[in-house]
A and B are shown apart, each in its own frame.
Chain A
Amino acid sequence: MKIKKNIATSENGFIFNPATGDSFSANHLASAILLSMKNGEEADHIKQNILEKYDVSRDQLERDWEDWLLQLKEANLLEV
Chain B
Amino acid sequence: MIIGITGLNASDNPGPGVAVIRCLREAFDNDLTIIGLSYESLEPGIYMQGIVDKTYQIPYPTAGTSALTERLEYIHEIEKLDMIIPNFDSELYNFIKIAPWLKSIGIKTFLPTHGQLASRDKINLAEFGKKYGFMVPPDKLINNIKDLQKAGEELGYPLVVKGKYYEAYVNYTPDLAQKSFHQLSAKWGLPVIAQQFIKGTEINIAGLADGKGNAISVIPMRKLYITDKGKAWAGVTIEDNELIELAQTFAAATKWSGGFELEIMRDADGDLYIMEINPRFPAWIYLSAGAGQNQPAALVKMAMGEEMGPFTEYTVGKMFIRYSWDHLVDIADFQQFSAFGELKLNNPN
Cβ contacts under 8 Å, A16 to chain B? 317
A76 CB to closest chain B CB, in angstroms? 10
- Taking a contact as CB atoms under 8 Å apart, the answer to whether B239 and A8 are in contact is no
- Taking a contact as CB atoms under 8 Å apart, the answer to whether B317 and A18 are in contact is yes
B110 CB to closest chain A CB, in angstroms? 30
Complex: how many Å from CA A38 to CA B238?
20
Complex: how many Å from CA A19 to CA B201?
12
- Taking a contact as CB atoms under 8 Å apart, the answer to whether A19 and B317 are in contact is no
User: Which of B203, B221, B224, B316 is within 8 Å of A18, CB to CB?
Assistant: B316
- Tell me which of A16, A19, A21 has the highest count of chain B C-beta atoms within 10 A of its own C-beta: A21
Bits for B230-247, please: 1 = Cβ < 8 Å to A, else 0: 000001111110000000
Q: How large is the interface on A (under 10, 10 to 19, 20 to 34, 35 or more residues)?
A: under 10
Q: In chain A, residues 6-61, which have Cβ atoms closer than 8 Å to a Cβ of chain B? A: 6, 8, 16, 18-21
B140 at the A interface (CB under 8 A): no
Complex: how many Å from CA A58 to CA B237?
41
Complex: how many Å from CA A6 to CA B238?
11
B280 at the A interface (CB under 8 A): no
Bits for B281-314, please: 1 = Cβ < 8 Å to A, else 0: 0000000000000000000000000000000000
Complex: how many Å from CA A8 to CA B317?
10
- Taking a contact as CB atoms under 8 Å apart, the answer to whether A20 and B316 are in contact is no
B213 CB to closest chain A CB, in angstroms? 27
Q: How large is the interface on B (under 10, 10 to 19, 20 to 34, 35 or more residues)?
A: 10 to 19
Complex: how many Å from CA A6 to CA B317?
12
Q: Which residue of A lies closest to B235 (CB)?
A: A21
Complex: how many Å from CA A8 to CA B316?
11
B248 CB to closest chain A CB, in angstroms? 18
B108 at the A interface (CB under 8 A): no
Q: Which residue of A lies closest to B266 (CB)?
A: A20
B122 at the A interface (CB under 8 A): no
A6 CB to closest chain B CB, in angstroms? 7
Cβ contacts under 8 Å, A20 to chain B? 201, 222, 238
Complex: how many Å from CA A79 to CA B347?
55
Bits for B215-233, please: 1 = Cβ < 8 Å to A, else 0: 0000001101000000000
A75 CB to closest chain B CB, in angstroms? 13
User: Which of B221, B224, B239 is within 8 Å of A19, CB to CB?
Assistant: B239
Complex: how many Å from CA A20 to CA B237?
9
Complex: how many Å from CA A6 to CA B316?
11
Cβ contacts under 8 Å, B224 to chain A? 21
Cβ contacts under 8 Å, B222 to chain A? 20-21
Complex: how many Å from CA A51 to CA B236?
38
Cβ contacts under 8 Å, A19 to chain B? 238-240
B307 CB to closest chain A CB, in angstroms? 31
A72 CB to closest chain B CB, in angstroms? 18
Complex: how many Å from CA A21 to CA B201?
10
Complex: how many Å from CA A18 to CA B239?
5
Q: A20-B201, A21-B203, A21-B235 are in contact. List 4 more A-B contacts (CB 8 A).
A: A6-B239, A16-B317, A18-B239, A21-B221
**Chain B residues with a Cβ under 8 A of chain A:** 201, 203, 221-222, 224, 235-240, 316-317
9 interchain residue pairs of minimum CB distance: A21-B222, A18-B239, A18-B316, A21-B236, A21-B238, A19-B240, A19-B239, A16-B317, A18-B317
21 sampled A-B residue pairs with Cβ under 8 A: A6-B239, A8-B317, A16-B317, A18-B238, A18-B239, A18-B316, A18-B317, A19-B238, A19-B239, A19-B240, A20-B201, A20-B222, A20-B238, A21-B203, A21-B221, A21-B222, A21-B224, A21-B235, A21-B236, A21-B237, A21-B238
